[in-house]
A and B are shown apart, each in its own frame.
Chain A
Amino acid sequence: DVKVTQSSRYLVKRTGEKVFLECVQDMDHENMFWYRQDPGLGLRLIYFSYDVKMKEKGDIPEGYSVSREKKERFSLILESASTNQTSMYLCASIPSGVSSNQPQHFGDGTRLSIL
């Protein structure tokens, strides 16, 4: 069974702080994703990575960066946290080269509050 682990379930930070959200998956998946989920807006893609050291911007990358130094770990970085980045952050993964469609597997999410 795929396990996607996000390092913190709840996090409270202050405006202007640099914030790191960590995600680890144990299934050797090539593709990893960071989303944020806000009420009434569904899930919005921030960044994704299709291989180590590779990254692509999603729909809302502004104010965020990512790091993928190892295949199993994908980090989301808020360079200078702002109150409008208060949200639920979700990490997901999926393998490449699948012969048929497969769903993304999600972690339990990090509820981040910026004060």
Chain B
Amino acid sequence: DQQVKQNSPSLSVQEGRISILNCDYTNSMFDYFLWYKKYPAEGPTFLISISSIKDKNEDGRFTVFLNKSAKHLSLHIVPSQPGDSAVYFCAASAYSNYQLIWGAGTKLIIKP
């Protein structure tokens, strides 16, 4: 049973436009959520996170929104750049981030 779901395997966005990546979760005990970015043949790199006490966190071009009632979070990238083309993983943890539950990933393609 997947506790963290990324239902879009891939997403194609025009350069300069907004990219919106979505993630749903089923476990109401999750209290910390992270987004990682992964290029081929490299390990995931941390992008941005949000605690369940917040509904928004912003870092430069990246904003994560959390809707606890819907058990949904989204990552917004504005404006999208060619270097943003990568696989994006959503992950969640309960009480500590020692163990993370991961989504399957969404491949983002930024078109010139």
| A residues at B contact (CB < 8 Å) | 4, 6, 9, 31, 40-45, 48, 50, 58, 90, 92, 94, 96, 101-109, 111
Nearest-Cβ distance from residue A22 to partner chain B, whole angstroms = 15
B27 at the interface (CB under 8 A from A): no
Q: How large is the interface on B (under 10, 10 to 19, 20 to 34, 35 or more residues)?
A: 20 to 34
Our pick among B9, B32, B46 for the contact of A40 (Cβ within 8 Å) is B9
A31/B49 contact (C-beta < 8 A), A4-B43, A90-B44, A106-B43 known: no
| B residues at A contact (CB < 8 Å) | 4, 6, 9, 32, 34, 36, 41-46, 49, 51, 89, 91, 93, 96-100, 102-105
Inter-chain residue pair count (beta carbon < 8 A): 59
Closest to A31 in B: B98
Interface majority SS on A: helix, strand, loop or mixed?
strand
A48/B98 contact (C-beta < 8 A), A9-B41, A101-B51, A105-B46 known: yes
State whether B98 touches A50 (Cβ < 8 A).
yes
State whether B41 touches A109 (Cβ < 8 A).
yes
A101/B32 contact (C-beta < 8 A), A9-B41, A90-B44, A106-B43 known: yes
Nearest-Cβ distance from residue A27 to partner chain B, whole angstroms = 14
A43/B89 contact (C-beta < 8 A), A50-B98, A102-B97 known: yes
Which residues on A sit within 8 Å (CB–CB) of B51?
Answer: 101
